[in-house]
A and B are shown apart, each in its own frame.
Chain A
Amino acid sequence: MWRISSFFSSALKGPLTLLDGLCLILSPFAIIGFVVLVIVMLDSLGVHAQLLEAIEADGVDALVTWNGVSDDGKMAVLWLDPQNDPFESVIVDTRYYSRETLAQLKIGQPVRIRYVYPPKHEAEAVLLDSYAEVKNYRGYFTNLIWPFLVMWLIVIMHPETLFLGFVDVFPSKVSGAPQA
């Protein structure tokens, strides 16, 4: 029994040391990546909160025709009054909606939207019947959660760079060592 555990511990020691060294090398980059991700997440959260606030405070309801999503699938452009004003359009950001919701919408189908006039929120609109999805959207966290957790774990394992300026974490010589 002892031999088996000893075998596994010696077999794991090499890969673990390698992983530890890799974390040490990647740690400074992980710190920068972590900070950038936090800024991106907070910015997205702020943009989302502002959109909800603007929609709820100054939103205007309209019934428009669904034109389908753009080629890259990121948005849908809807014309408010195509007969009288061919340039007055609003944008629906498709990331707020599930695939099922978007799949149910057929081109030419009337949809109820709520939008905010420019310049308040760049004429962004939401689908009124699926407003709960917009309100509960947390994609800016969930889409980035894995890189966020990996970077966090790397920094937790080797946070030495974080202590620079406070503590000498990479001492050039050991103080108190016996002199030759």
Chain B
Amino acid sequence: MTLFSFVFFLFGILSEIIFLLEAASPHIFRMEVAGKAEQEKAGLGKQTTGIAHFNRPAMLLIAGLAVLAALVAGLLELFGAGGVLVYIDSPVISFIFVLLGLFVLAAALLAKSFLPPVNEQSILVALCLVLVSALWGERSLIWLPGWLLTVVPAVVALALLIWRRGFSPLLKAVLYLWYLLSLMVIPFQSGEVAFFHQLEFNILESYSYGILLVFLLVHCLFAVRFFLIASSILVPRNRRWVSQIMPQLFTDEQVPLTRFLPVVALIAILLLVNQYLGLLTKPAVISLCMVLGVQLLSIGQSASHVRPAAPAGVPTILPLKE
């Protein structure tokens, strides 16, 4: 990778860290900490829609980083250093990757603060994108159980979305595990992990791969942890803990249609535009749309907004609002 590309790759990594932090812990980016009543009065407790999406501290921070990345890349080109190849074993680059590794480890441990809480909508979008990848991607899904394992949870998510009722935390755990695994399906199925071994990247590829690297690493590591959490359901005494953590990861709160439909339209437009312009490979653009869908449908939702629904006798963290 050239130094020029690496600047944008790094920018992608930092943007994704900010996106993850904002989606999972929106309070970090609030300018002032106010009481709940004051926050609601100021609209902070509500989900942001439309142009308000882009007028947030996190977005301004990313815009600032974009300007900085462009400046640094411009200066590198001006001094003729943009084409210098960088390698992972060089001291500065390896130091950056060590920091990234520590961040990923911390994010998997403190998942509550880094993983965007999902809902039926984001799971549905992720699973639909797996289907899109299977039908339209470079490598089709020919394995029948693979089809079933993709279609069945997608139908379940759609049914839950229509049904609009809270359901058992144990079922949520299974669905959430499947969502985490489906995030990994596209990169692994397409061998797309290899795109991190490419030698030449354009600006968009560098930025996208920076985003994907952080998102996939954090989710991959947490998927292993959550696989163990979900399998601990087998022992009845562990179920109370699973019931307690699920409301923090899986929210019943859905984004309004005025936000859901534009996000779906945006994803469709991105896929079509990429089909005509060929900016990114198909698996890369589908993975990127998945990241985009999950994060845009999570922003504004935090664990404090969840409406936990648990069967009688199962303890929950928050009392039911209704």
- Chain A positions near chain B (C-beta within 8 angstroms): 31, 34-35, 38, 46, 49-50, 53, 152, 155-157, 159-160, 162-167, 169
Please determine whether A38 and B224 come into contact, CB atoms closer than 8 angstroms: yes
In the bound assembly, the distance between CA atoms of A46 and B110 in angstroms comes to 28
Question: For residue A53, which residues in chain B have a CB less than 8 angstroms away from its CB?
Answer: 191
From B244, which residue of chain A is reached at the shortest CB distance? A167
Q: Given A165-B110, A166-B245, answer yes or no on A152-B231 (Cβ-Cβ < 8 Å).
A: yes
Task: Map CB proximity to A onto B207-238 as digits: 1 under 8 Å, 0 otherwise.
Answer: 00000000000000100110011011011001
Query: Which residue of B112, B191, B228 contacts A49 across the interface (Cβ within 8 Å)?
Result: B191
CB distance from B189 to the nearest CB of A (A): 10
> How many residues does chain B have at the interface if contact means C-beta atoms less than 8 Å apart?
21
Q: Distance in Å from the Cβ of A153 to the closest Cβ of chain B? A: 10
| Complex alpha-carbon distance, A162 and B234, angstroms | 15
19 additional contacts (CB under 8 A) given A155-B232, A162-B228, A163-B244: A31-B228, A34-B224, A35-B221, A35-B224, A46-B193, A50-B191, A50-B194, A156-B228, A156-B234, A156-B238, A157-B235, A159-B232, A165-B109, A165-B110, A165-B111, A166-B111, A166-B248, A167-B244, A167-B245
Q: For the complex, is B87 an interface residue (Cβ under 8 Å from A)?
A: no
> Which residues from chain B contact A50 at a C-beta distance below 8 Å?
191, 194
A-B contact pairs, 12 of them (CB 8 A): A34-B224, A50-B194, A156-B235, A156-B238, A157-B235, A159-B229, A163-B245, A165-B111, A165-B112, A166-B111, A166-B241, A166-B245
Closest partner residue, chain A, to B247 (CB atom): A166
CA distance A31 to B110 in the complex (A): 16
Which residues of chain A are within 8 angstroms of B110 by Cβ–Cβ distance? 165
A156 touches B231 (CB 8 A): yes
